[in-house]
């Protein structure tokens, strides 16, 4: 079992005299910067002059150019999209890192797959929330926490883990709990969810939609029944709090009996094998190399696949049902 760190395991004092520079003020940047500031820490933001910069100023934070903030920071938090972080790191961050600084990431991707190679002498840590940015901020304001994965890729000071835990505490994450994983484990788990779990789940959903519509059920009813009513989302959020097994008690005995007796029919060893092959592609770095090439070519495959998905009849049907039942 992994060790779970809570508030009492983290010491905010380790960051008391350190200037924190949050680079990027997007989903995670804004939430983490505000939480750290509200925890009493010294925070500046590095961002290009644009709407994000204005938002940071409106939130009462001091904002600088990215290179300036990296220079000012003893703790530099790289909260840019993973696709742009390597280039910005080389031009605006690396020249300003000094021995003793802490370089923090919210994802293990770039370090794990070798797109960013931090210099010796700095602590390289990760606090990767398992929560979208808005949720990070809302949880903090509600006095609650959210789980994160913390990691250490380079421990120059001998204090890298305590420093990562202090950052997690400042963000409010240790109120719930954090566990330590490697940068590679964080990145691989994240990619597995995106490339194996989510598509497999999506295929199950699509096959169910297709079958039921072809059997003559009203398309709107099919979508509402399967996911657009929000019941599925509610069930998953309940499962996250009380467990899958226990949440079944919120459903009728008919539902419980049907699910438990018919469930084994869908056991599929081939599905597990496909997931294993997907995981292997991730671990070997094949996916990361392919994705880097796609970025360099200007995203032709991503653009074509996105366009194709948006032109599916299901997309139009979904929009119609959502407008009808949930407005806008
Ligand atoms: P966002 O897409 O929200 O980041 C936007 C920020 O990046 C803005 O400040 C934007 O400023 C800046 N930015 C974008 N492109 C550039 C560029 N070329 N040069 C300089 N600045 C740029 O990122 P996220 O918050 O989603 O992700 C940040 C990190 O957090 C990533 O490592 C991600 O994996 C991780 N993470 C994200 C989660 C999420 O909730 N989305 C969940 C957990 C981890 P500008 O307007 O100037 O471009």
Transcribe 131-184 into DSSP letters: S-HHHHHHHHHTT----EEEEEEE-SSS-HHHHHHHHHHHHTGGGT-EEE--HH
State residue 234's pLDDT score: 92
Ligand 1 pocket member 147 (CB < 6 A): no
**Which residue's alpha carbon is nearest to atom 48 within ligand 1?**
48
**Which residue's alpha carbon is nearest to atom 40 within ligand 1?**
132
pLDDT of residue 240 exceeding 80: yes
The whole-number average pLDDT for the span 33-51 is: 97
Ligand 1 pocket member 107 (CB < 6 A): yes
- How many whole angstroms separate alpha carbon 181 and alpha carbon 133? 21
Angle at 10 between CA 4 and CA 11, to 5 degrees: 175
CA-28 nearest atom, ligand 1: 25
CA-25 nearest atom, ligand 1: 9
pLDDT of residue 328 exceeding 80: no
pTM, 2 dp: 0.94
pLDDT of residue 264 exceeding 80: yes
State residue 159's pLDDT score: 98
Coil, helix or strand at residue 127: strand
User: Could you read off the pLDDT of 100-152 as tens digits, one per residue?
Assistant: 999 999 999 999 999 999 999 999 999 999 999 999 999 999 999 999 999 99
Q: Of 33, 34, 67, 80, which is best to mutate to test ligand 1, by the most ligand atoms within 8 angstroms of its C-beta? A: 80
**CB neighbour list of residue 133: distance below 8 Å, 6 or more residues apart:** 26, 27, 28, 29, 30, 31, 32
Ligand 1 center from residue 194 Cα (angstroms)? 18
**Which residue's alpha carbon is nearest to atom 36 within ligand 1?**
106
pLDDT band (50, 70, 90) for residue 248: confident
State residue 285's pLDDT score: 98
pLDDT of residue 249 exceeding 90: no
User: Could you read off the pLDDT of 149-170 as tens digits, one per residue?
Assistant: 999 999 999 999 999 999 999 9
pLDDT band (50, 70, 90) for residue 2: confident
Ligand 1 center from residue 143 Cα (angstroms)? 25
User: Could you read off the pLDDT of 3-14 as tens digits, one per residue?
Assistant: 999 999 999 999
Ligand 1 pocket member 299 (CB < 6 A): no
Between residues 244 and 55, the one the model is more confident about: 55
Ligand 1 pocket member 50 (CB < 6 A): yes
Ligand 1 center from residue 267 Cα (angstroms)? 39
> Angle between the 160-171 and 27-38 helix axes, to the nearest 10 degrees?
90
The percentage of residues in the chain with a pLDDT greater than 90, rounded to a whole number, is: 96
Other CB atoms within a 10 A radius of the CB of residue 243 amount to: 10
Ligand 1 center from residue 213 Cα (angstroms)? 39
Contact call for residues 45 and 25 (beta carbons, < 8 A): yes
Ligand 1 pocket member 145 (CB < 6 A): no
Give exposure, 296-314, as e/b (b: 16+ Cβ within 10 Å): eeeeeeeeeeeeeeeeeee
Ligand 1 pocket member 84 (CB < 6 A): yes
**Which residue's alpha carbon is nearest to atom 42 within ligand 1?**
132
pLDDT of residue 244 exceeding 90: no
Ligand 1 pocket member 129 (CB < 6 A): yes
- How many whole angstroms separate alpha carbon 44 and alpha carbon 21? 5
**What does the mean pLDDT of the chain come to?**
96
User: Could you read off the pLDDT of 18-32 as tens digits, one per residue?
Assistant: 999 999 999 999 999
- How many whole angstroms separate alpha carbon 274 and alpha carbon 264? 19
State residue 12's pLDDT score: 98
Q: 42-46, 83-87, 218-222, 235-239: which has the minimum mean pLDDT?
A: 235-239
**Which residue's alpha carbon is nearest to atom 1 within ligand 1?**
26
Ligand 1 center from residue 181 Cα (angstroms)? 22
Contact call for residues 123 and 157 (beta carbons, < 8 A): yes
Ligand 1 pocket member 307 (CB < 6 A): no
State residue 178's pLDDT score: 98
């Amino acid at each position: 079992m992994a060790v779970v760190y809570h508030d009492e395991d983290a010491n905010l004092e380790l960051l008391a005299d350190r200037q924190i520079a949050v680079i990027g003020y997007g989903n995670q940047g804004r939430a983490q910067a505000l939480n750290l500031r509200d925890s009493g820490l010294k925070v500046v933001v590095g961002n290009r002059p644009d709407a994000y910069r204005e938002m940071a100023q409106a939130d009462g934070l001091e904002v600088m150019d990215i290179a300036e903030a990296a220079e000012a920071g003893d703790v530099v938090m790289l909260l840019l999209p993973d696709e742009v972080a390597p280039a910005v790191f080389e031009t605006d961050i690396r020249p300003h890192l000094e021995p003793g600084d802490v370089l923090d990431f919210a994802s293990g991707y770039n370090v794990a797959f070798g797109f960013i190679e931090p210099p010796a002498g700095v602590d390289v840590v990760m606090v990767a929330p398992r929560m979208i940015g808005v949720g990070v901020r809302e949880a903090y304001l509600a006095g609650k926490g959210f789980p994160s994965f913390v990691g250490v890729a380079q421990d120059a000071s001998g204090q890298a883990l305590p420093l990562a835990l202090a950052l997690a505490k400042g963000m409010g994450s240790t109120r719930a709990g954090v566990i330590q994983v490697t940068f590679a484990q964080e990145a691989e788990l994240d990619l597995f969810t995106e490339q194996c779990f989510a598509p497999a789940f999506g295929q199950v959903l699509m096959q169910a939609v297709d079958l039921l519509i072809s059997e003559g059920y009203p398309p709107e009813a099919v979508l509402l029944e399967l996911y657009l009513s929000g019941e599925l989302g509610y069930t998953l959020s309940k499962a996250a709090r009380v467990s899958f097994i226990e949440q079944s008690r919120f459903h009728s005995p008919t539902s419980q009996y049907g699910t438990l007796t018919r469930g084994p029919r869908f056991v599929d060893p081939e599905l597990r094998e496909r997931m294993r092959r997907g995981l292997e592609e991730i671990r070997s770095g094949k996916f990361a190399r392919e994705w880097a090439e796609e970025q360099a070519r200007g995203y032709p495959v991503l653009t074509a696949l996105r366009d194709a998905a948006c032109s599916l009849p299901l997309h139009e049907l979904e929009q119609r049902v959502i407008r009808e039942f949930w407005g806008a």
